[in-house]
Amino acid sequence: MLSTSARRVAGGLIAAVSVAYTVIALLYFLHSPLYGAGAGLAIAAVVGTHLLNMRAGLRGERPSRYPLTLVLQAVVTYLPDFLLPGGWSAVAAPMLAGTLLVFLPLRWGTALVGLMMVYEGVGLSMIVPVPVIVAFYVVTVPTTGAMTYALVRFVRVAADLEQARAELADAAVLKERLRISRDLHDGLGRSLTAIALKGDLASRLMDRDPASARTEVGELVRVAREAAQDVRQVARGYRAMSLTGEVNRAVALLESSGIGCQAHLADVALPRRSEEALAWAVREAVTNVLRHSRATTCTITTSASGGAVRLEVANDGSPPEPGPPGGGLTGLAERAAQAGGVCTAAPAGAGGFLLSMEVPAESPA
């Protein structure tokens, strides 16, 4: 999943930055075993509380003992300044800046980071005679803090987008179900009511007027056949199963689910069986994109060559798990064979998937 991958990458970068500051701190106090041991304990406490806070932030949560963990990180960042030689907090403050920006309202976090910069600038100027070095450590406070904040926000935005996309896909599927329900109700409600009335009338006329009863039974059969035809039309694609209509519905459905879709159809007149096979291929391909991939873009194209029309539905999402073909793809292969064509589905490119079908452009003689 996108959010999981983003969280791992962001967590790795934050951990790498923490390690870098740890190395700097230990090298700075390496000249004294006593100070080195103290610095080691202090940096361990800083990094430990920082990673604890960041792990919760990447999940969109607060640590279980917040705000105690935030206060503890601030304490272990600045308390060693009074126990170790000056300049300790310069390597710990950048991590605290990231925590403040992540967990506090941005205006308060920014104000506190500004105070931290002033503190580091004044404190380092008293012990480091080189202004460039002082400026470097002062600048690392807001830059590291901003980087940490950006990484955490990136992960949270990715998670929110993933959730919104799943909700849009569910809404689109629900919309299609409601559409089918409405079509069945509109198409069958009148027919079934007419069948019930004519059956009741025929039963009452059976004894006293057999001729009229037979007429009513004939009407009942006709209405029943119309109802059956309505069901078949709904199952085929809401009154008409055409390639253009199916592509238009596919584009609308994918875009409503947050997937960009482009369609390029060749202007070719197709025999009914070939057009229906291609329309079914579009429907099955789009269903697979919504159910089995994490696609962001999809293209639907047709091209004519050598008396055949080729349909390609490509997306940039992960392909289905390897295994035997599902019932939908098996059904498409059968439909393509009935139309005199072939259908294939396979991974394509870097993590993409391609479904293609080729059918005759003319009816067999």
Place of tokens 């139309």: 339
| 212 in a structural domain | yes
Highest mean pLDDT among 98-112, 169-183, 219-233: 98-112
Q: Minimal CA–CA distance to 302: which of 264, 332, 261?
A: 264
In a domain, 262, yes or no: yes
Q: Give the closest residue to 50 by CA, choosing from 80, 76, 83.
A: 76
How many distinct structural domains can be found in the chain?
3
Q: From start to end of the chain, where are the E strands?
A: 260-264, 297-305, 308-315, 342-348, 352-360
Residues 6+ apart with CB under 8 A from 259: 289, 290, 295, 296, 297, 298, 315
Whether residue 365 is contained in a domain is answered as no
Residue 159 sits in the same domain as residue 185? no
Burial of 181 (0-12, 13-18, 19+ CB in 10 A): exposed
pLDDT value at 363 more than 70: no
Q: Are residues 175 and 158 in the same domain?
A: no
**Same domain, yes or no: 142 and 22:** yes
- Residue 220, domain CATH: 1.20.5.1930
Domain stop point among 214, 237, 260: 237
Does one domain contain both 214 and 197? yes
Q: φ, ψ for residue 303 (rounded to 5)?
A: -145, 145
Residue 187 has pLDDT above 70, yes or no: no
Same domain, 154 and 195: no
Q: How much is the mean pLDDT over the chain?
A: 81
| pLDDT at residue number 237 | 54
Contact between residue 73 and residue 89 where contact means Cβ atoms under 8 Å apart: no
State residue 318's pLDDT score: 66
Do 12 and 68 fall within a single domain? Answer: yes
pLDDT value, residue 103 = 92
Condensed to tens digits (0 to 9), the pLDDT of residues 191-208 reads 676 677 778 878 888 888
Burial class (CB in 10 A: 0-12, 13-18, 19+), 173: middle
Backbone φ, ψ for residue 61 (5° rounding): -125, 180
Range 58-80 average pLDDT:
88
**Distance separating alpha carbons of residues 226 and 303, to the nearest angstrom:** 37
Residue that terminates a domain, selected from 118, 140, 163 = 163
Q: Which CATH number do you get for residue 260?
A: 3.30.565.10
User: Which two structure tokens, joined as six digits, stand for 272?
Assistant: 């009914």
Range of the domain at 355: 243-360
**In-domain check, residue 113:** yes
